[in-house]
Structure 1
Amino acid sequence: MIAKQVFKKSKRLSFVIMLFLSLFMINEMNAQTKPSISGVVLDEVGMPIPGANVVERGTKNSTSTDIDGKYTIRVVSPKSELVFSYIGYENLTQLVGQKKSINVSLKSATSKLDEVVVIGYGTSKRSDLTGSVATISGADLKKVPVANIAETLTGRIAGVQVTSSEGSPDSEIKIRVRGGGSLTQDSSPLIIVDGFPVNSMNDVSPSDVENITILKDASSTAIYGSRGAYGVIIITTKSGKNNKVAVSYNVFYGTKNIAKYIDVLNPQDFAKWQYEYALLSSNPKGSTTSYDKYFGPWQSYAGVEATNWQKEIYGLKGTAQSHDLGVRGGTDKLSYNFNYALYDETAIMVGSNYKRNNLSLNLKNKTSDKVDLGFTIRYSNTQIGGSGANEQKEISTADSRLKHVVGYSPIDLPGLTTDDTDEAVSSYLVNPFVAVADNDRKQIRTNFNMLGSFSWKIINNMQFKSDFGLDVYNSLDYRFYGRSTYYASNIPLAVNQGSPSLVMSDEKEKRFRNANTINYDLKGLLGKDHNFKFLLGEEMIDYQSNTVTSAIQGYPKTFSFEKAMNLTTQGIPQSIDNNYSPDDKLLSFFGRVNYDFKNRYLFTATYRADGSSKFLGDNRWGYFPSAAVAWKINEENFMKNASWLNALKMRLSYGQAGNNNIPTGQIIQTFQSSNSAWINNVSNYWAASKTMANPDLKWETTITQNLGIDFSVLKNRLSGTVDLYKNVTSDLLINFPVSGSGYDSQYRNMGANQNKGLELSFNAVAIDKEDYGLSFNFNIGFNKSNINSLGIMDNFGWSSTWNSTMLPTNDYAVNVGQPLGMMVGFKNDGRYEVSDFTYNTTTGAYTLKPYFLADGVTKNPEGVVSNSTLIGTVAPGSMKLKDINNDGIVNAKDVSIIGNSNPKHTGGLVINANVHQFDFMAAFNWSYGNDVYNANKIEFSTTASSPNGQYRNLSTVMADGQRWTNLDPVSGTLVTDPTALQALNATTTMWSPKMDRFIVSDWAMEDASFLRLNTFTIGYTAPDSFVSKLGISKLRFYQTMSNVFTLTNYSGPDPEVSTRRKTPLTPGVDSSAYPRSRQVVFGLNLTF
């Protein structure tokens, strides 16, 4: 009985076991038939995302990615869909299909309004900002392969104007935020890199930048006090992340070619003009002796191939390459980011090159729940070869290599165009290759930057932070002046004149900074509707600089630059100057309070006190307050039903910032150590500064008012900002001339300047699909500046000094009621015609019809004004100028405003698109309503250069058939008969190039409005299924063209130019600029 029961139970148990095994086998068979999918989940920059969720849609089947971002999951069928998700990122759905591997990149889910923005000594959500702030992400920078970060700002931000002086690899890039403000001092914005103030962005690798923030109004900049008057640019570099080690390698290689040449006369036209010039210049007229010495019959040069000297010197095929290696990773305790970047450019000009090495390491250590440590070290080494376009001091008439290149004869003329010609006699007879070799330069710049930070969470919501920084900069500058240069021929010591010289400059700068801040967030302590944040801080900056300059002259005449640098003992030491600046110390105390009520009404107030060693007594301290309010209108109850509105905020701010941007040592008389024989050929060991001290100097102050609106609609598909502003700068720091005192000038506080304007920025997402996308970023800025006062000074003129013989000498005006950049000169009235003269048939002389009758008072109905005092003897075909004051004579009294370098508005448009694996980007920028002073146009349309201006080439504006001519091409003689002369010039439109002086007139002031396609990029990102087989995370190829095209009416090589960079008083001059190039780059972005 018992056995029977056991048997029955065993039978039932066997049945259950068999049933279980059958079900298990069926499930296992089903599992074997289910598709298995694997892959990796990455973020937008190709970094793996550990812990991301992977779910089969409509089921509970899911998995998570491992520390490398990898996953594996089985799904029901090929029709299944996988949903990838992670906190802070947008969900992404993928159809399985026949794929065995699915790699995805998740986009950040953070809206533009929730984006965290870096501000002064802290961060803030964009939606909580009360000031005018703009940002550019590192991802946007990555799409523009450039050598200098500043170039990436071009046309990107409303109210921020970025211009380069010329096209050389190390050209000065000028940034002006809302027009600047100072008259004679630098109006550049303060540049902050990882909390540390620097002089330039040049030494920061673009690939190492996480984001850039631009602070534009006083509510944002006043926290920086004395240094924030003209805006603040905050650069944040990359740091490590708490995940697996990720390696990125970015490389590009490109070629550069000159964008545009200055067209010059061909050999026959050149020879024909030389022949006519000889006839006109001889005494008596009609002799061709000066021509026959070097030329054959001008007709014989027809078809002769010209030497294109611009192509020979500036028309090389330049190359640029960049290599960037980054290693990024970390754990919960320690994160790191290492970056090495190399940029190497061989430019389009002979002997011009640029090479920069950047090395950086960023470490962050979380030693405990309360303490964080940070350490950053950066090193850069930059080497620049070649003198570029201009000489060091920009004072001589031969200070530019371009003048040699454009004006040099297009044909070889034995006995005239020689390698040994002294440019003091005629710079236009110096062979361009000799001119470049004899005016050479080498610069070596090193920059070492070390930053450390200590952060302590004292209690919840209260944090103390201390930052320390050391910046060491060294610049070695070697300038070589060969025997043909103006410098060599004008050495005071006669025995050394005409011999090569070497000027060596060693500049050392050191800056130490310490800042200590306490942040306290009272969120929730005063109730859920009230939020307070406090910041208190102290900062100390100590800056030192020392420059030693040595001049060695009298080298053997055959010495090259290389020999002069390596064999300095072969020259004669002439002077050693040691310019040591007193320490520039700044001590500051500052605070900021942020309050919001119901996340609807926002208030920000800041206050900063700066004490500067540049000022004395009561003037030492400057006090800079600011206040701002904002109203989130979309948070109001009456807007709750406006589903189309995502954000609408109104901002209002008022604040004060300062400027102490003058050289140190202006409050007490300083001296420099100088062993020199340049002063009356007598050795001098101490020389007083040329600038008189002023113990009463005080802070220059800028008051800013700003009204702004931020909005976002249609699910953030359309967003933008509108800002109205007014900035008034008073107590301007002006270097005031003090003639008769024994000094050249003295810094004084005097006058006021004003900028006001309107800025508009719009972002639109037209298409936002998984495989398609199209977006637009548009900005435009209107700025109007005005000089409100010049203090005790009267309106005054200033010279651009592009030529020492030009008239008028002061070609810029600084007038109350007008902006800086007003160009001064004569008004062109075409040319004198035959009918303006009476002709003496006996002598063959032309006499200008008198402006007044014999009584000297009554105007002659047929009278003609005379400008012979300016251009020399007036004859038919001579340039004619307008008589502004109607006295019959054109002279200095007839000078007037003829141009304005200030644009009515500037802006930019960036278009981004993607189609499947392809991405596209086009970036435009423009300027409208500004004039450029085309000094090249004047320079190369006349023979005014003495004594051998005859032999230089001219631009095609003076081509045969366009210029006035007196030459009978058949007989080869001068035409004197009035009827024949008028008939000979019936179709010509220009005046004769022959004149004694360079005349500045409105003919050379050109509308330089332009629209430029600055950058165009097309990229291709390899599919994830492909790159996963290669063991990499992301692979992107791209091609970028820079300076693609420019639409403009400007006749010069490029409308975006300003070459007289020694003073802000003469903007917009185009004189012998290093030509701008067009670049095509092929690149690769690779992430492991």
Structure 2
Amino acid sequence: MRTIAMAIVLLLLYAPDLMAQSRTITGTVKSDGEVLPGVSVMEKGTTNGTVTDSDGKFTISVSANATLVFSFVGMTPQEVIVGNQTSIDVNMITDISQLEEVVVIGYGTVKKSDLTGSVVSVGGDDLKKMPVATVTETLTGRMAGVHVSSSEGSPDAEIRIRVRGGTSLSQDNNPLYIVDGFPIESINDISPSDIESITILKDASSTAIYGSRGANGVVIITTKGGTSDGKVAVSYNAFAGFKRIAKTLDVLAPDDYVKWQYEYAMLRDNLDSYERYFGTYEDIGLYNGLKGNDWQRQVYGRTGTVFSNDLSVRGGDSKFNYSLNYARFQEKAIMIGSDFKRDNITVKLNNKPNNKIDIGFSLRYSATEVNGGGANEQNERSSTDSRLKHSVSYAPLHIPGLVVDSDDTNEQLAGDLTNPIRATWDNNRYQERNNFNIGGSFGWKIIDNLRLKVEGGIDTYNTLDYRFYGLTTYYSKNQGENAPAVVMADGKSTRLRNTNTLGYDFKDIIQNSDHRLNVLLGHEVLVNRFNRLTSTIHGFDEFYDSDAAFRLTAQGSPVSVDNFYAPDDKLLSFFARVNYDFKGRYLLDAVYRADGSSKFLGNNIWGYFPSISAGWKVSEEGFMQDAGGWLNSLKLRASIGAVGNNNIPTGQTFQFFESGTGASLTWVNGVNTFWAASRTMANPDLKWETTVTTNIGLDFGLLQNRITGTLELYKNLTKDLLVRFPTTGTGYIDQFRNMGETENKGVELSLTYAAIDREKYGLNFTFNTAVNRNVILSLGSLDEIIAGTNSNWASTQIGSDYQVRVGNSIGAMYGYVNDGRYEVSDFDGYNAGTDRWILKEGVADASGVSGTVGTARPGMMKLKDISGPDGVPDGIVDAYDQKVIGNFQPKHTGGFVINGYAYGFDLTAAFNYSYGNDVYNANKIEYTTANQNNQYRNLVDIMADGNRWTNINAAGELVTDMSELTALNANTTMWSPYMNRYVFSDWAVEDGSFLRLNTLTLGYTFPSDLTSKARIKNFRVYATGYNVFLWTNSNYTGFDPEVSTRRNTPYTPGVDYSAYPRSRQIVFGLNFNF
């Protein structure tokens, strides 16, 4: 009893202390401002614990002096001493060292640390913070070896992606685009807001599994899917903004324009052509101070607007998840009559009824409308229709007689120029693109580690392309019977796909954990069908515009209806991939693919494409442990493999013929006849173009991975090039042949530096650069291809201006070497009887290039005599003096991005650059030349009075006295614009190097404590500027050096002719997440 009594006394005495040792703690766990469910909350040293609920809240009873341990996958564990606290809120921080980034590759995924091929990717926050109109804009300047460029500044401008320079000589060098496993033609009609990640495969070990379609790289896009946390996530993103033309060209003021017209008339000895429109020479003063029409501003100077809205709903659980997305983008462009609209709908559903089966479904639809033509289009009937030319060169003031009224012009006198506004409406275009893609997948876990996946789908791509040619267009005057006409094309492409893969993981068979082996076997069938219906209608009434002609086609006269059905493009494929690693440090991948293509015949149908790659995680070796303080990761990679290319039109191996009778076939007697449906001669011996790629890579992480990077060296050798070979004299234009070899080799470097990484603020930098060298090793039996390499902007006045030659690269510009101008000192005198200047002995005569031999005069453009028929200078400048004077290929390209954040604010500045590439500025030639066909055109201000050579003195007299002419031009620097024809010399080849501040974004994310009251998880506002600033290496005289128009063939890149001017844009936007 005494013992029991003592115990009761002690219990009563110490009860207050014991009660103090046990207390209840509540709190909330968050990460980046969002609640975090499922976090483990444990009392350290005990088994007492709990987890946070769906709102991130927890309740736990702990003893005195307790320490709570908070842990969650991918987060840094945190320990909190309870002390006297009863409420504890914790913010979990991501543990980068625990995250294993997964990269999408061909027919599967792989941890980034286990990659052995050359792969780059962008996703997550990088995509969320870029309010762009097209997917390709998200890639500009962000990936080493991936060069993204646009041909001009129109809303629907062609955007090119080149991976390591491209491999083909004369064919399309676009990469293969894969969206959610389905190959598509273009990604420009996909909404950027739909995209979860973008991965680009660059070397053969990565692309070989795609076989014939991976020669130019592979772009894999994964769209957003559902969630599995049992919640519904709703996001709304919107931005609106405006844009203005970034740059215009300065032209002659009205008084200077009139003065030049006087000099031109005097040089032509036709003063009446001046006086009947402008008055006498003494009247020039009347034009002083007049303000001319700024036609560039009137055509391209309106304030454009952009609007974008997208709504996304995502949700689901471990059994079923879904994603729904709708997006609309609208743009009113800077050119009158030009606008763009795109609607996108995406649906993704995934169902997993049990642990063996999963079923997926996706639907993607896009509808795009484009109104108005660009400034210059690839399929223009003539360069006279190029709209920019009219707005630059048209007379700056109303000239009675030349200008009949505000809309009409005497074009014969005005040098094929039309009132720029009238020219824009007369050469109009309307386009529609409707893309519908539906796909499904079935996955079956047959047994442990053996998985079958069956995928199938259909993709339809319907296009309308309506062209209107009004009275002022070349087409109307030369083919349209001097009346408005329309050409209406309706195309349809249908692509069917079935892919079946069987994968097995050998981990249960190989009992040794040091070894890991995975095998994937696959079979794929692709069928592509295409047809196009083209209707040509002439003879509309003169007052018809494009809207009336497109709606009232019955009011015209049908000329032709062409219904073209291309042979089916079929591809049957078998492939296999083996992945092996030893101890997680030594990696080996092997791929083999066989493709059978309907584009080839007989033994050439099948192409075989193997590859092998290996990796070594050096940093995980024992001997590298001492470097662990500064070197966190180091991996060496090497690969070699082959990929193919069959990217030619179908039906090139056998000849098609069409039958017909009547007047259209009178060249064969007008009776039942058969004629070739194509102007390309068939070749039954065509076979696969093959590229062998060798790649060596180094991946590294330094200073706790604050600095990470990749260095790569590669070499691509392409053989059996599919080349269009000219077949002069056969009745055909050309023929596809396998001939020649090209080589691309280069170096790529990517770096990321996390300078500051704190919870509330941070700063990081990314940088990439790439060097690619392209060389033509062989052209089969040819040394060079000059025929057919004309950019054709000047019709026949300039012949071959590009050269394709062994030892050169694609894009070699071919012309004359400029030697300034002829000075008076180059002549012995002037012969008034013959009206000819007499060249001194030893001075080369270049007059045959720009006009007629023997007509050289002071002030004329001078060209260098560098060769002759015998290979030595002969005193005459002619075709023997042409040489390679420029190159489109840049020496290196790249970009860098600066990202910063602080207390809710975020700032992103993205730059891209190109260095060492040349631009063929054809505008510069046309806008500084007044030849016999364009007397009344205006000139750009480089030819302003006081800068151009002049032959007229203050009294308006034509000067031939040598001393007086020398004195008149003592301070002028340019030659005279007066020439008989255009001349392409290195003066028109400009350094196209540039650095562009492509986007600049400033955003602010409101605190979650504030937004949560309105049930908003995240609310961000931002402002973004596009094309903010452009630095050029030599003050490029055109609109923008990032340009490539008049691409009649792939041989002629880098021409700047009548390109739609780029705009400068600013948008304001917001992001909601509920």
Q: TM-score range, shorter-chain basis?
A: over 0.9
Q: By how many angstroms is 1:427 displaced? A: 5.8
1:116 partnered with 2:99: no
Q: Distance in 2 between matches of 1:157 and 1:266?
A: 45
Structure 2 stretches of 5 or more lacking a match? 868-872
Q: By how many angstroms is 1:879 displaced? A: 0.8
1:734 corresponds to which residue? 723
Q: What is the aligned-residue RMSD (CA, Å)?
A: 3.3
Q: By how many angstroms is 1:1047 displaced? A: 0.9
1:904 corresponds to which residue? 891
Partner secondary structure for residue 256 of structure 2: helix
Residue by residue, what CA displacement relative to the aligned partner does 1:243-265 show, whole Å, maximum 9, x if unpaired?
Answer: 20010001111111111111111
Q: Distance in 2 between matches of 1:210 and 1:1077?
A: 28
Letter in 2 for 1:1020: Y
Q: By how many angstroms is 1:41 displaced? A: 3.6
Q: Could you tell me whether the CA contact under 8 Å between 1:646 and 1:713 is conserved in 2?
A: yes
1:481 partnered with 2:469: yes
1:719 partnered with 2:708: yes
Q: How does 1:321-340 map to 2 (within 5 A)?
A: 321-340=307-326
Q: Could you tell me whether the CA contact under 8 Å between 2:224 and 2:323 is conserved in 1?
A: yes
Residue by residue, what CA displacement relative to the aligned partner does 1:626-652 show, whole Å, maximum 9, x if unpaired?
Answer: 111111111211112221222111111
Change (3 A) 1:880 1:106: farther
- Find the partner of 2:502 among 518, 534, 557: 518
1:406 corresponds to which residue? 392
Letter in 1 for 2:582: F
- Find the partner of 2:215 among 212, 229, 235: 229
Partner secondary structure for residue 436 of structure 1: helix
Q: Could you tell me whether the CA contact under 8 Å between 1:837 and 1:846 is conserved in 2?
A: no
Q: By how many angstroms is 1:714 displaced? A: 1.5
1:1007 partnered with 2:991: yes
Q: By how many angstroms is 1:990 displaced? A: 0.1
2:625 corresponds to which residue? 640
Q: By how many angstroms is 1:874 displaced? A: 2.1
Partner secondary structure for residue 385 of structure 2: coil
Change (3 A) 1:841 1:692: closer
Q: Distance in 2 between matches of 1:142 and 1:631?
A: 34
Change (3 A) 1:773 1:15: closer
Change (3 A) 1:75 1:1075: farther
Change (3 A) 1:225 1:534: same
Q: Could you tell me whether the CA contact under 8 Å between 1:657 and 1:701 is conserved in 2?
A: yes
Change (3 A) 1:822 1:392: closer
1:363 corresponds to which residue? 349
2:858 corresponds to which residue? 876
Q: Could you tell me whether the CA contact under 8 Å between 2:791 and 2:1055 is conserved in 1?
A: no
Letter in 2 for 1:355: K
Greater shift, 356-365 or 298-307, is seen at: 298-307
1:430 corresponds to which residue? 418
- Find the partner of 1:839 among 821, 829, 832: 829
1:660 partnered with 2:660: no
Q: Distance in 2 between matches of 1:187 and 1:447?
A: 23
Q: Distance in 2 between matches of 1:166 and 1:676?
A: 44
- Find the partner of 2:562 among 545, 553, 577: 577
1:587 partnered with 2:557: no
Change (3 A) 1:57 1:787: same
Q: How does 1:429-828 map to 2 (within 5 A)?
A: 429-491=417-479, 497-523=481-507, 525-526=509-510, 527-643=512-628, 644-671=630-657, 688-797=677-786, 798-805=788-795, 808-828=798-818
Change (3 A) 1:81 1:511: farther
Letter in 1 for 2:640: Y
Q: Distance in 2 between matches of 1:552 and 1:574?
A: 5
Greater shift, 955-964 or 792-801, is seen at: 792-801
Change (3 A) 1:624 1:808: same
Letter in 2 for 1:875: R
The number of aligned residues is 1053
1:1077 partnered with 2:1063: yes
Q: Distance in 2 between matches of 1:868 and 1:793?
A: 29
Change (3 A) 1:90 1:13: closer
1:1023 corresponds to which residue? 1007
Letter in 2 for 1:125: K
1:855 corresponds to which residue? none
Change (3 A) 1:535 1:838: same
Change (3 A) 1:439 1:71: same
Greater shift, 797-806 or 821-830, is seen at: 797-806
Q: By how many angstroms is 1:414 displaced? A: 2.3
- Find the partner of 2:912 among 901, 919, 925: 925
Q: Distance in 1 between matches of 2:273 and 2:82?
A: 92
Letter in 2 for 1:1035: F
Letter in 2 for 1:479: R
Letter in 2 for 1:630: G
Residue by residue, what CA displacement relative to the aligned partner does 1:786-817 show, whole Å, maximum 9, x if unpaired?
Answer: 11111123312144434345654000000001
Greater shift, 1057-1066 or 423-432, is seen at: 423-432
Greater shift, 87-96 or 920-929, is seen at: 87-96
Q: By how many angstroms is 1:764 displaced? A: 1.1
Q: Distance in 2 between matches of 1:869 and 1:125?
A: 62
Q: Distance in 2 between matches of 1:97 and 1:990?
A: 85
Q: Distance in 2 between matches of 1:267 and 1:103?
A: 74
Change (3 A) 1:43 1:449: farther
Give % identity: 54
Q: By how many angstroms is 1:403 displaced? A: 0.6
Partner secondary structure for residue 566 of structure 2: strand
2:924 corresponds to which residue? 937
Q: By how many angstroms is 1:93 displaced? A: 9.0
Q: Could you tell me whether the CA contact under 8 Å between 2:790 and 2:1052 is conserved in 1?
A: yes
Change (3 A) 1:591 1:59: closer
Change (3 A) 1:887 1:1023: same
1:259 corresponds to which residue? 246
Q: Distance in 1 between matches of 2:996 and 2:82?
A: 45
Q: By how many angstroms is 1:1060 displaced? A: 2.2
1:993 partnered with 2:977: yes
Q: Distance in 2 between matches of 1:50 and 1:122?
A: 30
Q: By how many angstroms is 1:694 displaced? A: 1.1
Letter in 2 for 1:352: S
Change (3 A) 1:96 1:1052: farther
> Scaled by the length of structure 2, what TM-score is found?
0.93
Greater shift, 553-562 or 885-894, is seen at: 885-894
Change (3 A) 1:1067 1:113: farther
Letter in 2 for 1:246: A
Letter in 1 for 2:693: T
